[in-house]
Amino acid sequence: MDRKDYYMVLGVSETANPDEIKKSYRNLAFHYHPDKNPGSQELMKEINEAYAVLSNPEKRRDYDHLRQSFGAFARDRFRQTHTDEDIFRNSDINQIFEELSRIFGFSRPEDIFSSNTFYGRNYREFKFKGPGVSGGGFFFFGSLGDAYRSDKGTARKGSLASKVMLKGLGMFQKMAAKRLGIVMPEKGRDLSDSLAVTQEEASSGGKVKYVLNQPGKSREILITVPAGIREGQKIKLRGLGEEGKHGGEAGDLFLKVRIRRPFFEFWRKRSERIR
């Protein structure tokens, strides 16, 4: 038996006001949007349903009465008297998805909700509020999402215009997310260190031991040094920097190569023998 409590689904308290409910929904819709989190359609449906009920004063009042009488079975009781069409009629869910699509370059709401894996043919029956987008004071550009999607590839090629555009877009997205109450993933901070290699290792390449010190522990790893590497060049170790925040990826570790000179190598080996 399904006992999903709408308040628990949205992660809000029973006394949450409409702004808190919408803020929580926007945040969840961003993180579980099908474009961002493939395979999350069923969870997104649960989140949509919870928001459609709790964001409507009349439906929320009916649900609260059922919670008082039936506790964990309130959702089941509510669904006995409310169809999907009843729940989603006049909801602004489509409008919120429109916001996300324009800011973050996601698929358009009509493409998502009418797909076979979402609401399919029932989408038109729900009569979401719309069209139109409430931007909370932001200016949304219709071509922004398309420009974002099409320009990702060219940015990797080093185009200055592309890099400037994506940097500006990133700043805009962070500002918009903050205003809408969306917590965006943050990549962890990159770290740097040095890696000492012999002249022979620098010339021929190979595996070199490196001690990775992390909070509370340290471990020895083997670094692949490419043949012909020069003094001062850096080796990038992906994901070995600081941990990301809010589900963001970890930062990277950059090792600056330092070549041991023969004279110093001689004294290092001599001191090791003495020990």
> The CATH number of the domain where 109 resides is what?
1.10.287.110
DSSP character string of 203-272: HH-EEEEEEEEETTEEEEEEEEEPTT--TT-EEEETT-SSPPBTTPPP--EEEEEEEEPHHHHHHHHHHH
| Same structural domain, 13 and 122 | yes
Nearest partner of 36 among 236, 173, 235, 133, judged by Cα? 173
| Same structural domain, 154 and 244 | no
Mean pLDDT on 40-66: 96
Residue % of the chain over a pLDDT of 90: 46
Band (pLDDT 50/70/90 cuts) for residue 140 is very low
Band (pLDDT 50/70/90 cuts) for residue 270 is low
| Same structural domain, 112 and 210 | no
Number of domains, the chain: 2
Domain residues for the domain of 230 are 191-274
Does 41 have pLDDT greater than 60?
yes
Mean pLDDT on 199-220: 87
| Same structural domain, 14 and 106 | yes
Nearest partner of 239 among 230, 248, 251, 231, judged by Cα? 251
CATH of the domain at 238: 2.60.260.20
| Same structural domain, 170 and 116 | yes
Task: Indicate the pTM of the whole model.
Answer: 0.66
| Same structural domain, 133 and 231 | no
| Same structural domain, 83 and 55 | yes
